[in-house]
Amino acid sequence: MKLSCALVTNLDSPDLVVEAERLGYHRAWLYDSPAITSDVWVALALAAQRTSRIGLGPGVLVPSLRHPMTNAAALANLAALAPGRVAVAVGSGFTGRYTLGKKPLRWAYVEEYVTTLLGLLRGETVQWDGAAIRMLHTDGFVADRPVDVEVLIGADGPKGTAVAERVGDGVFAAGVPNPAAAGRPYALLQFGTVLDDGEDLASPNVLNRAGHGLAVVFHAMYERMGAEALAEFPGGREWVSAIEAIPPAERHLVTHEGHLVRLTKVDEEAVGLAADLLPQFTFSGTPEQLRARVSEYAAGGVTELVYQPAGPDVAGELARMMSAIGEATAR
């Protein structure tokens, strides 16, 4: 199993990718959610120019955000800057869609988009939106076609996993393991922190480092299953009450604010009440506990553990996680 990192793309991301390479991370995935992050392609290009070994890729791209030619050109540009180091993950959209007031895309559309994107990268003429398109770039503009990149599909359920089987190289699952992904390249994104023995889970220090991983549980459950799904969840009623005090037309602008970065006023009380669930719902624990989780994930077919840190010292979190589980993931 490889240990990679994920970053909520911001102005510091290129510096953090440099640090991740120094620490020995296999790959750096950068989020693509334009309403809440910096531009993923700018950050990846800057990181490519400052690194030489670490893998690079957007994870995950949301097809509705860009024409397939736009992403094909960006991928081919990145491949020219970082040859042999580029991968891409594509999904149906979570914050990249919800923050724009839209639901996730249909998987049939995602499959068609990925098929088109790969055809473009191979140098083929493909059909999109009723027209024939092909990468027409002159030598020296992007990498020569065919551009070979590993393609993972951001799949947590059976429909997305089936798309990965048909058009992808593997699966990029977020938060919750996807057992059906075993047997192929299988990246599992996790949020959390390394805990000291006896560290208070409800302390501001821990919640600053790992509360983002618990807040996203509230966000996801509410968006996917509705308010009733949170009724018996610790802090659930308080969170629903706070979010539903916001007018429906603007509620999506607040639900995902601070997504996987910080706790908002809406999140703080609820996450504090649910803090005891951090070890269950996030990748948080003592080094010994986390190494045991690594063994479980490896047994379940995970080939790449992707850790996304948060808090005031992201570089320090990357270092602590590598120290805690780096050797375990290298076995």
Provide the pLDDT confidence category of residue 302 given band limits of 50, 70 and 90.
Answer: very high
Q: Do the beta carbons of residue 153 and residue 91 sit within 8 Å?
A: yes
Check pLDDT > 90 for residue 232.
Answer: no
The tokens 């058009």 sit on which residue? 167
What is the share, in percent, of the chain residues with pLDDT greater than 90?
A: 91
For residue 330, the model assigns a pLDDT of 84
Per the document, the length of the chain is 331
* Euclidean distance between CA atoms 55 and 41, whole angstroms: 14
Measured from the Cβ of residue 53, the count of other Cβ atoms closer than 10 Å reads 11
39-54, pLDDT tens digit by residue? 999 999 999 999 999 9
Express each pLDDT in 78-120 by its tens digit.
999 999 999 999 999 988 998 899 999 999 999 999 999 999 9
Q: Quickly state the pLDDT bin for 124 (edges 50, 70, 90).
A: very high
The CB density around residue 176, as the number of other CB atoms within 10 Å, is 14
pTM of the model: 0.95
> Average pLDDT of 239-260?
91
Check whether 258 has a pLDDT greater than 90. no
Domain range summary for the chain, segments of one domain joined by +: 2-194+286-326, 209-279
- pLDDT of 98 reads 86
Contacts of 118 (CB under 8 A, 6+ apart): 151, 167
Inter-CA distances, 108 with 167, 182, 250, Å: 11, 22, 29
| Alpha carbon distance 183, 42 (integer Å) | 34
Share of the chain above pLDDT 70, in %: 100
Reduced to 3 states (helix: H, G, I; strand: E, B; else coil), residue 285 is strand
Q: Beta partners for 150?
A: 87
- DSSP per-residue codes, 134-160: ---PPTTSSPPSSP--EEEEE-SSHHH
Both tokens of residue 165? 């089987």
Class of domain 2-194+286-326: alpha beta
| Whether the Cβ atoms of residue 6 and residue 55 lie closer than 8 Å to each other | no
Mean pLDDT of 191-201: 95
Which H, E and C letters describe 63-98, residue by residue? HHHCCHHHHHHHHHHHHHHCCCCEEEEEECCCHHHH
* pLDDT given at position 159: 96
- Give the per-residue pLDDT at 18: 98
For residue 331, pLDDT over 80 is answered with: no
